[in-house]
Structure formats: structure tokens, C-alpha cells
Chain A
Amino acid sequence: MMLRIRAHLRYGGDFELKVDHEWPLEGVTGLFGRSGCGKTTLLRLIAGLERIRGAAVSFGDQQWQQGSKFVPLHRRRIGLVFQEHSLLPHLSVEDNLLYGYRRTPALLRRLHPPEVSAMLGIEDLFGRRIDQLSGGQRQRVSLGRALLISPQLLLLDEPMAALDTQTRREIMPFLGHMAAESGVPIIMVSHSPDEIERLADRIVFLQDGLIQRIETLHESLARPDSPLFDDAGAVSVLEGFLGEAGEDGVRPFGPSEARLWVPEAEQASGSRPTRILIRARDVSLSLVDPHHISIQNHLPVTIERIDPPTDSRCVVACRTADGQLVLAEVTSRAVSQLGLEAGKSLYMLIKSVALLE
């Protein structure tokens, strides 16, 4: 399903939003940029909450806005979840969840309360009042309520920005499940590289009201100047399946030729692909496969590219045996001492991996 947007908006003297793009919607699209870059305005334009004159928005073969034609939000079948919880305060949890479900024609209902509540872990909350819910529960109910209209598209406006770190960690897996199991394309506004790396499949980079680039997560992580690296340095995201835990609780990840060991992963399911995140500065390179070392994760890799040094450190992009890209950050001195160059085969030692669930 293609989303096509054309809009030009100027407000006040200094803010301008200028967009003329289209991209395929499948899985999770992250709308990434700094505060004030126009992310939320773009989202409101897609939703039909902002009627910008002269703008055109179409979703697949449906024209949502074109010339004087304007389909109002309640006919677009878009699920919306906002930053702060937006449950209707005069209704119970159940009535909130079913508000949209009841207004969705039976023929269009694909998602039903039992499966949605199981997906989000909210089965036990139905009888509660809104003010008896924690912040995380409220946000899960908001997500469930949006899913229950069986939307064609789900728009999430920084859904985790108002939550504390603990709660964010609690919600993140549910968002992951939801994206994978509901089959509804999602656009998620975020200014957090961490959220994008965990959840997004494709990223729209927005800066000062202009779309700079639209690319997949892997394309973005493969380029040295990715805006995702601005805050916390270069990272790699690997996708693969988790195996069964051994007696020590450590679980294998990925195919045998590129096997990693992941600790503390009891709750993650093994039936869907899982992401793990590796920070480039947690990766070392060695010409031999060292034994007698505490680091558990060693992978044979081939150097694909060495980026020019900044502050005498280089990012070395390496390809694993199963074709995934992992970045290592080493000093430029190490690069010359070890004679590193593109095409060279060597071993990668990974000090720590984080499971993104």
C-alpha cells in the first residue's frame, strides 16, 4: 500500500513544511526527527486533523485529500494513539475499548476484543475505571482501542514519550507483537533512535520541515552518517530467531554459521524473528579466534568497508556469514597495526548484546 503526500505549509515566519513524497507502507514506518521538525504536523495531515490548503494525501487507491475533496478522519479508518493517554474520562475501560469497535461495520471487523486484549495483555482490565490504571496500562488500552476499529493504518504520535523508562520497557514488547500480529501498517513518530531501532522497518527522516530521506532500517544502519547514530554512536541491529534456553538460561540466536548467545531472554517468544542490538563500541576485532577469553560471542566476519576516522576512531563495517552487517568501532591505530582493509576476513568479539524485546 503506497502512501502519497504532497503539502506545502508555512506558518509564522520561520516554520515551513514541504513534502512531496510517496513510500510503501508495510510493517512499521518510523517518522524520525528532532522536536519541532514537523513530524506531528505531518502525522496530523495524514490523519486529516489538519486541513492544509492545496495538500494532497492518498492511501493506496483511496484519495483522502485532493483539491476540494476531503475525507474526514471518522471515514478514513485510521487508528490514532497520542503521546499522553487519551482515554475518554467519562467511560469505563470496556466502553473505551469498544467505542470504535461498536462503530465499525461488522463486515470490516478483522480484529476482535479477545485477540486484541491478549495481544496487549489487557484482559483483566475490562471492568476497571480509567483512574485505576497505571500509565502503561492506559497506553495499552489506547492501543487496543485503536486496533479494535480494524484500522487500515495506525498512527502513533510518540506513544512512549510520556512514559518512564520502566513503563516504556513494559510497553515496547507489546508494540512489537502488535506490529507483527495485527498486520496493520503503522506510522510511528519518534525522536528516539532507540525506539526506531527496536520497532521500525522503514524510516522517514524529517528535518526542518523537509523529508531528507526514506530508507529501510538496514539501509540507514549501513551508512556512517545515519542520524540514528548522532546521540549514542553507531549500532547494528540483527534479526533472527531465538532458540531454546540451555540450563544456564542463555539462548542461542541466529543460524549456526553466525551464532550468538543471548542472556536473560526468558520472556521473548521463539516463534517470530527477534531483533538484537549491538553497539559498535562493544565490538572488538581479532585476526585469530581467541580461546581462553570471557567474551562468549565470537563471529567470523569479512570487512566490507572502513569509514574515515573521526577523533582517531574508525567504524569498521563487517559482514557476518549469514549476510548481516555489524559495525565495530576501533581506533585508527588498531586499523593500521592489524592491517585492516576491505575484504579481509577476521573475528569479531562482541562484549554485549541487547535483546530488543
Chain B
Amino acid sequence: MYTFGPAEWQAIDVTLRLCLYTTIILLLLATPLAWWLAKGRSRGRDVVQAIVSLPLVLPPTVLGFYLLVAMGPRGILGKTLEDLGFHHLAFSFEGILIASILYSMPFAVQPLTEAFSHLGRRPVEVASSLGAGAIDRFGTVIFPLTRSGFVVAATLTFAHTMGEFGVILMLGGSIPGETRVLSVLIYDHAEAMNYEAAHSLSLMLLIFAFVTLLVVYSFTRRFQVVRL
């Protein structure tokens, strides 16, 4: 049996940090966005929905390419940062974090939009009439009634970020401890004909993905039964 060396542990560390930060930041961003998509009446909703869902259909290399252009030393974002005395974002952890957030956006926004639409307006109106302000309503009514949506959004975001490859390779390359995540390390191992190492990491990710999906499906089913 192949045992993990320092390169593997480093990749696991980068991957877990990337997944965790992406999930936390995305839930914070996706909650208001999904609420607006579910409840808003503005005509701009279709456009925003389409933009959010783009990563579902776009080749990851396209997203990675444009991000590289924007975040590189001569890109709009990268150049502005450099002018302000910061480092540009290409080939950095912060860079692939931003890429992950964009790339996994639909996996956070869609379950939440679904959950908020399903909630309907009544419970929120009831809570308002009983004197609860916006934050109070979110904490005591909206969140408890849409918890399954949050669990699904968080799990899918985490798992999908772990499965990211193309965007990271385009934008981040394979810098140990910075941008070399598990999927990239597996690619490197396979390129170097180190099949045994690639195999044990691949198997680990396969099992992780399966268990995650199992949890998501059993959770959504159980929750629907409770809600009815």
C-alpha cells in the first residue's frame, strides 16, 4: 500500500483550506443572491440566473483563461493590485480561491434558491406581523425552515471545489503549498508515470465524492418527508 509523503499531505492541506474558505464565502454571498432570485420581482433575474449558471456549461479552461488574463500582472485586476502595492493574483492561493468561488457558485445558489422558493412568503409575513425584524426573521424562521437547502448547498460546494481541475491548472499552475491541490497532484503523478500514487489519491477522492452525494441525497429525501 502506498503511503502519503509530504507532497500529498501538503496537497491535502491546500485542498481542504480551499474547499473550506470557498464554502464559507460562497454561503455568505449566495444567501442574499438566492433570496433575491427566489423572491425578487425585477426583470434582471433571468440575466443574473444565467450568469450564475455559466460555470455549469462553460469549459473550465474558458473561465480559467479569462481569470488569468484579468488577474495576471497586466490584467485589470492584477495591475490595479500591483499599483496599490499588492501582489497580482495569478498563480496564488487567493487567485484560485476567487476562481473556486465563481466556479462553484451555481452549486450554492441553486439549492438555496430552490429552498427559498419552496418556503413561500407566508412564514416570513407571519414573523413580520409578530414583530420580528429582518435578521430575527432569518435566524428564527427562514434558516430553520430552509436548513436542508443550506446543508445541500454547503456539501455540494465543498465537494465540487474538491473536484475542480481545469480552472486551477489554468490560473494557479501547480505550486506546492500554494496552488497544487489533490486533483492537480494526481495529474502530475500520472504524467510522471507514478500510477500507484495517482491511484491511491484517486480512490480517496472517489470514495469521498460518493459518500458526499449519498449524504446529500439521503438528507434531501429525509427532509422532504419531515416537511410534508
Contacts and interface: CB of A to CB of B under 8 A. Distances in A.
B131 interface: yes
Contacts of B130: 74, 99-100, 103, 145-146, 149
B228 to A, nearest CB: 10
Nearest to A87: B126
Given A89-B227, A90-B144, A90-B145, A80 B131 contact: no
A90 B119 CA distance: 12
Interface residues of B, number: 17
A88 B131 contact: no
B131 A82 contact: no
A265 interface: no
B128 A73 contact: yes
B131 A86 contact: no
A73 B126 contact: no
A79 interface: yes
A47 interface: yes
Nearest to A101: B130
A interface bracket (residues with beta carbon within 8 Å of B): 20 to 34
B122 A103 contact: no
A330 interface: no
A49 B145 CA distance: 21
A220 interface: no
Contacts of A149: 129-131
A72 B128 contact: yes
Interface of A: 47, 49, 72-74, 77-80, 82, 86, 88-90, 99-100, 103-104, 145-146, 149
20 contacts: A73-B129, A74-B130, A74-B131, A78-B129, A79-B129, A80-B126, A80-B129, A82-B122, A82-B126, A86-B123, A88-B127, A88-B145, A89-B123, A99-B127, A99-B132, A99-B140, A103-B131, A103-B132, A149-B129, A149-B130
Given A73-B125, A103-B130, A145-B130, 10 more contacts: A74-B131, A77-B131, A80-B125, A82-B126, A89-B145, A89-B227, A90-B145, A99-B127, A99-B130, A146-B129
